[in-house]
Amino acid sequence: MNLDEGKKQKVAGWIDEGLKLAEIQKKLMAEFGLNLTYMEVRLLVNDLKLMPKDPPPPQPPNPLSPEPGAAAAPVGPEEGLAEPFPEEAAPAGAGAVSVSVDRVARPGALVSGSVTFSDGNAAAWHLDQLGRLGLVPKTSGYRPTQPDLQAFQIELQNQLQKLGF
């Protein structure tokens, strides 16, 4: 397809405006009477060494940040939501909590592993595809203390960051 310089500049302008190839195809027909197939328009743009612009991806709203002008309501365990990973470490004397990550995740889990709490009790943990954390103690009915759970969450976060999660 041979276009004169004026038409080439017009097509380049349409590309700069962010028009899609189908829109350029319609404009070529409407303004210049050129009935081109989509493939011909694509080849024309390629011959002119132009690159159509991709629209910027939409930014998903952050569900954790309040909307502008809205007052942030405190959210805590009383609403049934788990607290995020705390900034502070477990209190002194809480003992050590060790976390390991399995090389191969358990079936149905995105990542899994084991944890030994400060009192010596062990449990298996897993994180599913929906981001839910599961904890299965080896001793039936065992419930770790709150400081141990906080230390576990911090150590788990550190271990997963090291692995690129």
From residue 100, alpha-carbon distances to 34, 77, 81, 162 in Å are 66, 27, 25, 12
Same domain, 158 and 97: yes
Would you say residue 57 lies in a domain? Answer: no
> Which of 153, 158, 163, 162 lies closest to 117 in space, CA to CA?
153
Same domain, 98 and 153: yes
Would you say residue 18 lies in a domain? Answer: yes
Digit-coded pLDDT (tens) for 71-93: 544 444 444 444 444 444 444 44
What's the CA gap between 85 and 53, in Å, rounded? 40
Bridge-based pairing of strands 111-116 and 122-127 is antiparallel
Would you say residue 138 lies in a domain? Answer: yes
Number of domains in the chain: 2
pLDDT-derived band at 68 (thresholds 50, 70, 90) equals low
Structure-token match 């952050």, residue found:
62
What's the CA gap between 13 and 49, in Å, rounded? 13
Digit-coded pLDDT (tens) for 103-147: 888 888 999 999 999 899 999 999 888 888 889 999 888 999 999
Would you say residue 72 lies in a domain? Answer: no
The CB density around residue 150, as the number of other CB atoms within 10 Å, is 20
DSSP string, 72-117: PPP--GGGTPPPPPPSSPPPTTS---EEEE-SSPPTT-SEEEEEE-
Same domain, 43 and 101: no
What does the mean pLDDT of the chain come to? Answer: 78
Would you say residue 13 lies in a domain? Answer: yes
Which structural domain range is residue 130 located in? 93-162
Same domain, 38 and 97: no
What's the CA gap between 6 and 71, in Å, rounded? 56
Same domain, 101 and 157: yes
Would you say residue 70 lies in a domain? Answer: no
Would you say residue 151 lies in a domain? Answer: yes
In this structure, is the dihedral angle defined by the CA atoms of residues 90, 94, 98 and 99, taken in order, positive or negative? negative
Would you say residue 38 lies in a domain? Answer: yes
